[in-house]
């Protein structure tokens, strides 16, 4: 008797390899914010990191003194992967037409890449939503000498910073007198005050990027240091973000038929991650859930996976299904158990 698992567990090795090697667009923010790490189980305990995991400690000791120990902290919240499945279908007539003549087309490869593109677009929204909830970040405490790590507008940030005697850029980023570098340095310092290390990465909305291209303060600064035109690399160096900047250009189809940005156009998020972003949907080199970072994507080992295609006689179509199981998790916590390894402002122009 056939094992029940054998009736559904097989995968198409060629199409699965193609799906797992799918190249992400340059504007991808999901894997940049939350690098992929493999997990062998669909559920488990989340490994989260407090500020002690990020901090640099002196391990020198006098003879006979105590030896410092490192302990990872498991949070009490479990994680559970979410399953995403998409199918592609090819009518037999289309298959026959594609196979005729000298310009034959590999329809299976085309449809697999198309399906993977749709899966990743949906995941872009998932990650963007996960990092855009203001209440999830460490909040401002009056009299602490520090600002909070999330603000709905630049004006609200400016008020808290002024109350604590912290100089700001002087105006929101839409103004000609704005000085974004002052604000970014404050935001980086606020994160360092929570976890002991400054952010090295940023994602900006498309409107923020467009404004930075014409920022008076930025143009005045770089005219003496480089002849290059302003791009993401120049901006990353200007802000001191070693891992780089991504511009969130992705769009999603709204119910009214319009295309809306996946990540708020006027927003910016600064965060720390020790890893380079993967250029595919598979784990980045050296990615490990045991390494402190702002966020990770827990992804079930072996996915995305493509099931063997099958023929639907009633409709005369060939169908194949792609499955991926994953979940985004913010792993870097601050002093009070909220997000501590990133800073988010939803609107730098207001």
pLDDT per position as a tens digit, 220-276: 877 766 656 788 999 999 999 999 999 999 888 888 888 899 999 999 999 999 887
Q: What is the mean pLDDT of the chain?
A: 87
* Distance in angstroms (rounded) separating the CA atoms of residues 321 and 236: 40
Q: In this predicted structure, what is the pLDDT of residue 218?
A: 85
Q: In this predicted structure, what is the pLDDT of residue 99?
A: 67
DSSP E strand stretches across the chain: 36-39, 43-48, 73-80, 82-91, 150-151, 201-205, 244-248, 251-253, 259-261, 268-271, 295-300, 305-306, 310-312, 317-330, 342-345
| Residue whose pair of structure tokens reads 């700001």 in the numeric block | 168
The β-bridge relationship of strands 268-271 and 305-306 is unpaired
Please classify residue 88 by burial: count the beta carbons closer than 10 Å to its beta carbon, then call 0-12 exposed, 13-18 middle and 19+ buried: buried
For residue 322, give both structure tokens. Answer: 């792609």
Q: What is the value of pTM for the model shown? A: 0.87
Name the residue among 283, 286, 277, 278 with its Cα closest to residue 298. Answer: 283
Coil/strand/helix, residue 254: coil
Per-residue pLDDT, averaged over 312-323, amounts to 94
pLDDT digits (tens, 9 = 90+) for 171-189: 999 999 999 999 999 999 9
Per-residue pLDDT, averaged over 82-106, amounts to 81
What percent of the chain clears pLDDT 70, i.e. is strictly above it?
A: 88
Q: In this predicted structure, what is the pLDDT of residue 53?
A: 67
* Distance in angstroms (rounded) separating the CA atoms of residues 215 and 234: 13
Per-residue pLDDT, averaged over 131-155, amounts to 96
Q: Say whether pLDDT at 136 is over 70.
A: yes
Q: Name the CATH superfamily for 10-52+80-345.
A: phage-related protein like domain (3.90.1690.10)
Decide: 334 and 51 in contact? Cβ < 8 Å. yes
Domain residue spans of the chain: 10-52+80-345
Per-residue pLDDT, averaged over 42-70, amounts to 74
Q: How many residues does the chain have?
A: 350
Segment of 2-16, 84-98, 176-190, 327-341 carrying the highest mean pLDDT: 176-190
Reported as a pLDDT band with limits 50, 70 and 90, residue 50 is low
Reported as a pLDDT band with limits 50, 70 and 90, residue 123 is very high
Per-residue pLDDT, averaged over 35-58, amounts to 75
Segment of 50-64, 118-132, 216-230 carrying the highest mean pLDDT: 118-132
């Amino acid at each position: 008797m056939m094992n029940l698992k054998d009736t559904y567990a097989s995968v198409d090795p060629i199409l699965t390899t193609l799906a797992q090697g799918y190249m992400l667009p340059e504007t991808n923010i999901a894997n940049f914010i939350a690098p992929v790490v493999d997990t062998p189980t669909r559920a488990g305990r989340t490994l989260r990191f407090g500020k002690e995991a990020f901090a640099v400690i002196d391990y020198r000791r006098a003879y006979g003194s105590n030896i410092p120990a490192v302990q990872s902290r498991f949070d009490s919240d479990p994680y559970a992967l979410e399953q995403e499945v998409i199918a592609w279908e090819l009518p037999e007539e289309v298959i026959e037409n594609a196979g005729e003549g000298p310009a034959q087309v590999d329809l299976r490869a085309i449809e697999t890449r198309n399906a993977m593109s749709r899966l990743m677009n949906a995941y872009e929204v998932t990650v963007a939503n996960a990092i855009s909830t203001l209440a999830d970040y460490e909040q401002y405490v009056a009299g602490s000498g520090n600002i909070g790590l999330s603000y709905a507008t630049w004006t609200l940030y400016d008020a808290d910073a002024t109350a604590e005697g912290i100089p700001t850029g002087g105006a929101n980023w839409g103004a000609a007198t704005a000085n974004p570098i002052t604000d970014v340095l404050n935001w980086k310092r606020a994160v360092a005050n929570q976890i002991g290390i400054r952010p090295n990465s940023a994602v900006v909305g498309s409107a923020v990027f467009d404004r930075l291209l014409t920022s008076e303060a930025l143009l005045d600064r770089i005219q003496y240091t480089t002849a290059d035109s302003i791009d993401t690399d120049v901006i990353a160096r200007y802000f001191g973000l070693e891992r780089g900047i991504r511009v969130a250009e992705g769009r999603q189809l709204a119910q009214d038929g319009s295309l809306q940005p996946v990540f708020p156009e006027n927003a910016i998020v600064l965060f720390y991650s020790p890893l380079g972003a993967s250029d595919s949907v598979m784990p980045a080199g050296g990615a490990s859930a045991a390494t402190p970072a702002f966020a990770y994507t827990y992804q079930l080992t072996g996915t995305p996976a493509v099931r063997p295609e099958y023929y639907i006689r009633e409709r005369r179509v060939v169908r194949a299904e792609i499955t991926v199981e994953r979940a985004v998790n913010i792993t870097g916590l601050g002093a009070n158990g909220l997000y501590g390894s990133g800073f988010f402002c939803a609107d730098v122009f207001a």
